[in-house]
Amino acid sequence: MRSLHTGHPRVRRRRLATLTALLVCVATAWIGSPAATAAPAAGPVSPALVTTTAHPGNQVALTFDDGPSPQYTPQLLQVLRKHQVKAVFCLVGEQVEWQQAQVRAIVADGHTLCNHTYRHRDLTTVSPAEIEADIKQTDAQIRAAVPGVEIPYFRAPYGNWGQSPAVAANLGLRPLSWTLMPGDWELPGTDVLLQRLRDGIAPTGVVTLHDAGGDRQQTVDAVDRLIPEFKAKGWNFDLPAR
């Protein structure tokens, strides 16, 4: 066999290019692309609404809806990072479309994602086919920001589930509900919001707050005070059950 380094320079370059392309194809087939391997295969899971933490006892899960927001999501991430707490962010597709950097920041900090529909519409009377299309569109928008990212949960806007639990479960997403929604969108004041959280949190509870959809400074400030207070009482901040 003749050496690859003999013959006309142009021929040698063509042979090198062909060999390189072949090696790349073999390596890709052996290793697999990151985007293809990072996302878990979709498959049916339980359609029962998730309302508990992954672990028993004095555990509470924090979830945040309607984001991401260019103003309040970064503040909330800073608070969670400071207190070493992981949470679930329920993302709206339209928000993700123009806030991809915030989605990447959420994932980079180790938080979990949840599909919160594309346009935050009431699903009460929406057909299963439309719900499926919406969920897939939202997942695709999220993965356009972070290719291959895991999205284990789905949450229906306003808690109006309609037929979405079965549809989401069939796509491999657990329907994520809550045990406490303290009405942070009412802007009751940070002290009042914090007291609502104190009064309403119960062992293995799932709390729903918001990081977008309006002024969320009270939410950020209340969470910043809540976490160290509950940790001092022996509580842990968990993720929802899977």
Please tell me the distance from the alpha carbon of residue 168 to that of residue 191, in angstroms, as a whole number.
37
- Collapse the DSSP code of 64 into the 3-class scheme (helix H, G, I; strand E, B; otherwise coil) and give the result: strand
Please tell me the distance from the alpha carbon of residue 94 to that of residue 149, in angstroms, as a whole number.
18
Establish whether 111 is a catalytic residue.
no
Please pick, among 116, 210, 224, 238, the residue that the annotation labels catalytic: 210
Helix ranges (H only) for 159-238 are 164-170, 190-200, 217-232
Nearest to 112 by CA among 158, 168, 164, 176: 176
The strand pairing partners of 240, in sequence order, are: 53
Nearest to 41 by CA among 152, 156, 155, 166: 152
Q: Could you report how far apart the first and last alpha carbons of the chain are, in Å?
A: 59
Q: Which amino acid is at 238?
A: D
Please pick, among 65, 66, 224, 238, the residue that the annotation labels catalytic: 65
Residues marked as catalytic: 65, 210
